[in-house]
Chains A and B, each alone.
Chain A
């Protein structure tokens, strides 16, 4: 190892002058992506709203001035039923007198949890399937992609309703886990296809051939070389999945196949208040607008990330 007599070749050590232009180019890739994202005002606004919603969900008990024993699903104010905004209940109460602000904030916890957790599980399945299929090709690819096609051909809500009838019958938090598993099990195929496509394109690149001559094994090639280069589309898919999964959860809950009472999500709030729409339309509007704003923000962030991560977007 120590046999190199480092003979100073003429090019070595020629100091390149640090012009402002060069300094600009020296920013790391993450920095470049960050800068591009920051310049997208709409996406930044989406991110800000999202951060606000997440914080509100985390600090729900603090915001609603409640003690640790407070349960928004059972705490009722029997003197005010479907009241509309009144002092003490800024967004009013629902049909059994539960405070809407508390319901909304605690519901956000469930909705966001379901959205995020099912996204993580779904991305994990999708990336694994897509990576193996794209990398190894051949019969494995064929098999995995036909399974993926089969999953895509299933009418999503139909099968979710059927399966939810058996899976999410448990009450409360058990139903939340059931919903997460169900959504993850049926939302991975799109990711698998994206990842497979990326792997197919990237595995022919010379740096992978180079990595193989350098003694990298298949696992290292996939994990260290291909996946980071496919990260952009995966991150975008992941972001959009969160929004999609929140809607799916709401839809399931709306039809009473999702999160079961007394646990509440925005979907269950919608479902239980629709009967009172003519008397108190606010009860439907509040969770509806919450879903709309959250999903819209997530999608804006996703679009912003897609643009920021696109290497072909010229830097302006």
Chain B
């Protein structure tokens, strides 16, 4: 399993504790129009993202619907072809590698999907669903695979006797556990969890979050944890990235970002989460953002957040603020950071 693929693209620059290095990643979806289907515009779902994810860490990625966070997660795994930029996984640039190499490397990077109802093939039994990755990669004999499936079911808290059942016989939370077991089947190093709990009942969300945290510690996993809910991200991840309109606007340790948000968008997001203390909750000042999220087809000039920002000045309309350190180990893209 440890056979590193010899393709030392920029490995010299990559620190050894970095598992995933995303550089200037862009995903633009073309909009075709006219008789000849020419590209008339493009949706800039991800527009120049830099991220590093260290081994064993969980990087939380938050942002509202349509900000490009799911697309970013998929582009990291090359499920969506990036328009530009690179994704370096253990020294190999996934955007430039061959189909065969990429396919082999898929064993090390898996995904947990948002919708537990559409992410499992309705015609496969649980056993077939979980053993499929092993079949694809030719791991083990059929007896070994069967044993492994039962082991995995137990690991995610399901009854191993349920291997012959179909997905429709399970509840949402159970199905999500099946999805997690499938993602674990190949002993991956890196898992993109794309809003793994947002489709679940509130009572089940905590269970699945705890399961993901336990598995990370047990198998030394690295997560890119995508969510639109700040509290869920806070629960599992040490570092948090905030995304807005295809850009990372703030990135830092969870504690710093929550205690001292630098970007106005982060401040607004935080002010939207309720505080579980009634007295404090009464004093909570909510910042209501006005206006809609601008269209990613035609993003605003300068800072992408300026049309909705209460601090916006003339410079915000003209110059896009660079993502730079505003406090120690906390970067933000804002001309007027801080509260």
Contacts and interface: CB of A to CB of B under 8 A. Distances in A.
Interface of A: 1, 3-16, 25-26, 28-29, 205-207, 209-217, 220, 225, 228-229
Contacts of B115: 206
Contacts of A6: 151, 154-155
A8 B157 CA distance: 7
Contacts of A216: 132, 136
Contact of A12 (B103, B133, B154): B154
B148 interface: yes
A282 to B, nearest CB: 50
A14 B122 CA distance: 24
Contact of B111 (A12, A213, A215): A213
Interface in B168-224: 169, 179, 182, 185-187, 207, 211, 214, 218-219
A220 B114 contact: no
A229 B121 contact: yes
Given A29-B123, A29-B166, A215-B136, A11 B157 contact: yes
Contact of B121 (A5, A207, A217): A207
B159 A7 contact: no
Nearest to B79: A209
23 contacts: A1-B139, A1-B148, A4-B151, A25-B169, A26-B165, A26-B169, A206-B113, A206-B114, A206-B119, A207-B119, A209-B74, A210-B119, A210-B179, A213-B79, A213-B106, A214-B136, A214-B185, A215-B133, A216-B136, A220-B136, A225-B121, A229-B122, A229-B123
Given A215-B136, A229-B121, 19 more contacts: A1-B187, A6-B155, A7-B218, A9-B154, A10-B157, A11-B207, A12-B157, A206-B114, A207-B118, A207-B121, A207-B122, A210-B113, A213-B79, A213-B109, A214-B110, A214-B182, A214-B185, A215-B107, A215-B137
Interface residues of B, number: 47
Contacts of B218: 4-5, 7
B132 A209 contact: no
B120 interface: yes
Q: Chain A contact residues: over half helix, strand or loop, or mixed?
A: loop
Nearest to B150: A6
Given A28-B166, A215-B106, A205 B187 contact: no
B337 interface: no
Contacts of B312: none
Give 10 nearest A-B pairs by CB, closest first.
A11-B157, A214-B133, A215-B136, A206-B119, A9-B157, A206-B118, A6-B154, A207-B121, A213-B111, A228-B123
Interface in B94-140: 103, 106-107, 109-111, 113-115, 118-123, 132-133, 136-137, 139-140
A217 B103 CA distance: 8
A213 B77 contact: yes
A3 to B, nearest CB: 7
Q: Which of A207, A211, A213, A220 has most chain B Cβ within 10 Å? A: A213
B160 to A, nearest CB: 8
A8 B218 CA distance: 13
B158 interface: yes
Q: Which of A13, A14, A214 has most chain B Cβ within 10 Å? A: A214
Nearest to A209: B79
Contacts of A5: 218
A211 B132 contact: yes
Contacts of B154: 6, 8-9, 12
Contacts of B137: 215
Given A26-B169, A207-B121, A214-B133, A3 B219 contact: yes
Q: Which of A12, A206, A220, A225 has most chain B Cβ within 10 Å? A: A206
A216 B137 CA distance: 9
Contact of B140 (A1, A205, A209, A217): A1
Contacts of B159: 12-16
Given A205-B118, A206-B119, A225-B121, A3 B136 contact: no
A215 B214 CA distance: 26
Contacts of A10: 157
Nearest to A229: B123
Contact of A214 (B106, B148, B187): B106
Contacts of B219: 3-4
A13 to B, nearest CB: 6
Nearest to A228: B123
Given A7-B218, A11-B157, A210 B182 contact: yes
B284 to A, nearest CB: 35
A122 to B, nearest CB: 24
B158 A12 contact: yes
Interface string B246-261: 0000000000000000
